[in-house]
Amino acid sequence: MVDKKRKHPKEIIKAESNALNFSYADGTQALKNINLPVYENKITALIGPSGCGKSTFLRCFNRMHDLYPGNKYDGEIILHPDNTNILDKRVDPIEVRMRISMVFQKPNPFPKSIYENVAYGLRVRGEKNKRVLDDKVEEALKGASLWDEVKKRLHDLAFNLSGGQQQRLCIARALATDPEIMLFDEPTSALDPIATMNIEELMAGLKEKLSILIVTHNMQQAARISDYTAYMYLGELVEHDKTNKVFTNPRKKETEDYITGKFG
Amino acid sequence: MAKLENPEVSPRLAKNLRRNILERCIEFGLLCSGIFAIFITLAIIYVLVSEAIPFFQHVSLYDFLTDTVWTPNYSIKHYGIMALVSGTLTTTFIALLVAVPLGTITAIYLSEFATHKVRETIKPVLELLVGVPTVVFGYFALMLVTPLLQKIYPDLTTFNMLGPGIVMGIMIVPYIASVAEDAMRAVPMAMREGAYAMGATRFQTAIKVITPAAISGIIAAYILAISRAVGETMIVAIAAGQQPNFTFNPVESAATITAYIVSVALGDLEHGGIGYQSIFAAGLTLLLMTLMFNIIGHAVRKKFAERY
């Protein structure tokens, strides 16, 4: 796999949105004709000013918008390699969410123990075997570099953890079910710089196993961690390219203005 | 106030002083209303205790708690409060058996499954049920529910504890549903999104995430329901019979503490007589029972809140 990649610098597309439009129940069109690939084992960052639609776009990937009646999708998001259109009405959103997990802006652990939080996704899938659960929980907590901090108190309430730990717990929870893509919606905006650094390091490690799509308000963060960057503005995708290209030599004037802080 | 006239005090400071005085006044007002509520409670307890003391000078606490016959107004007097407590506990238990599942399911439905429109229609209707006078519920139990139950179980007497217990349960459903629903709706949306994002279904989210998150509020709803059932008077006074009877059998007739108090208080009683005083002893028992349920409820609530 690694050799193949070296020979072929062209990346593998894990998912892509084609002509995606989205409008909310009140009629506002939040996304306009978005075409964006998400590459396998890469971090794609979505940047742009508030209200540009980057979170809305992210939440299309796990059909979060289905929770609120009246929202309308148009276009498709194809998940490779099986070419499933995530937005197809015939595709079960629960199936989608099992393959694409999400970490939210504010840590939102469940009112359960640390162990049960991580085991939640597995239990939802019907896993009952205690040994399988134990192993998976340990693996996921290690994957989220939280294991050493919590291994002695797995059955403590998750709310007793610090904010940064809670967010890593949410990552472990999302990780436990072996997702193919992980969505991060401004995962560090509620955290202090040290916790932020931990999460960023974590993401850099996670991309070995899966593909990451992250919304961030912090341009330095996008520059630090992502391989690809997409700049969105007013529901449109303005520019999408390799991160160093977007940050050093953007094609569009708007992108440059935003990145250099002239605007936004 | 002298400071106000002092020219050296800046107008801003003078303003601060006025603001502070106003603030103090408001604080005092709030404190007064708080103290007033406590005062009323203490006054009730004082009256109950002071009237119950002469009663207990007459009747030993041992007899009061162990005797199973309650006939303070007969020639052969017995003062076994358990004959009334059994009726109260039995009707309350039946009511909870009806109200807890029904109320909880209603709350889960309203909070997690119903669309906005359905919720806005059902909730006011449910709350209307709270406004039905309990005397109406009492006749409903006596004239409709008991005859219906007699069709299933012909040996049922006209006055029994089952019918009023069930009706009392129906009466309490909106209390539980409303308070529990508020508690569940107060659970942040982020929690729901988290569960859905993990691939949980609506039902799994409601049962495994939202209910435990709202558990302390849901238990508060149960506590409220218990207090309401223990204190309920008219339904049981009308439909359960007013004959004190030491039994936990729901098909028998019995009197609850409240039913006894209302029936005796309405008759001509000699002020200061033992029959009169027995009301206060019964009232004190009722108060202690409610208090006990509340304490247990709070302890359970605390325990659950810690685990989850």
How close A247 gets to chain B, by Cα (Å)? 32
| Residue of B198, B202, B215, B218 to mutate, interface with A, max A Cβ within 10 Å | B198
In chain A, which stretches have pLDDT less than 70? 1-10, 264
B86 falls in which pLDDT band (50, 70, 90)? very high
Contact state of B191 with A110 under an 8 Å Cβ cutoff: yes
ipTM higher than threshold 0.85 = yes
Q: What is the pLDDT of residue A154?
A: 93
Buried b (16+ CB within 10 A) or exposed e, B256-271: bbbbbbbbbeeeebee
The separation between the first and the last C-alpha atoms of chain B, rounded to the nearest angstrom, is 54
B5 falls in which pLDDT band (50, 70, 90)? low
Summarize pLDDT for B197-227 with one digit per residue, the tens. Answer: 999 999 999 998 999 899 888 998 998 899 9
Provide the 3-class DSSP secondary structure of residue B79: strand
Contact state of B197 with A98 under an 8 Å Cβ cutoff: no
Average pLDDT rounded to a whole number, residues B1-30: 77
Q: What is the pLDDT of residue B11?
A: 75
User: Given CB atoms, is A118 within the 8 Å cutoff of chain B?
Assistant: no
Summarize pLDDT for B249-284 with one digit per residue, the tens. Answer: 888 888 899 998 888 877 767 777 788 888 899 999
* Eight-class DSSP state of B245: -
Task: Report the candidate in B243, B267, B264 with the shortest Cα–Cα distance to residue B255.
Answer: B243
Contact state of B199 with A124 under an 8 Å Cβ cutoff: yes
- Which stretch of A90-104, B66-80, B92-106 has the lowest confidence by average pLDDT? B66-80
Q: Considering Cα of B108, then B114, then B116, then B117, what sign does the dihedral take?
A: negative
Report how far residue A222's alpha carbon sits from residue A232's, in angstroms, rounded to the nearest whole number: 13
B145 falls in which pLDDT band (50, 70, 90)? very high
> Does the pLDDT at position B240 exceed 60?
yes
Q: What is the pLDDT of residue A10?
A: 67
Report how far residue A39's alpha carbon sits from residue A212's, in angstroms, rounded to the nearest whole number: 8
Contact state of B307 with A157 under an 8 Å Cβ cutoff: yes
- Is the CATH number 3.40.50.300 carried by domain A2-108+178-259? yes
Residues 143-182 of A with CB under 8 A from B: 157, 170, 173-174, 177
Cross-chain CB nearest to B198 (options A67, A106, A121):
A121
Report how far residue B254's alpha carbon sits from residue B244's, in angstroms, rounded to the nearest whole number: 5
- Which stretch of A116-120, B1-5, B30-34, B36-40 has the lowest confidence by average pLDDT? B1-5
Q: Considering Cα of A126, then A128, then A131, then A137, what sign does the dihedral take?
A: positive
B7 falls in which pLDDT band (50, 70, 90)? low
Average pLDDT rounded to a whole number, residues B224-246: 88
Contact state of A120 with B195 under an 8 Å Cβ cutoff: yes
* Cα B211 from chain centroid (whole Å): 22
Report how far residue A227's alpha carbon sits from residue A229's, in angstroms, rounded to the nearest whole number: 7
Residues of A whose CB is below 8 A from B205: none
Question: What mean pLDDT value characterizes chain B?
Answer: 88
Give the A:B interface size as CB pairs under 8 Å: 68
User: Given CB atoms, is A97 within the 8 Å cutoff of chain B?
Assistant: yes
User: Given CB atoms, is A98 within the 8 Å cutoff of chain B?
Assistant: yes
> Does the pLDDT at position B190 exceed 80?
yes
Residues of B whose CB is below 8 A from A94: 199-201
Summarize pLDDT for B154-163 with one digit per residue, the tens. Answer: 888 889 999 9
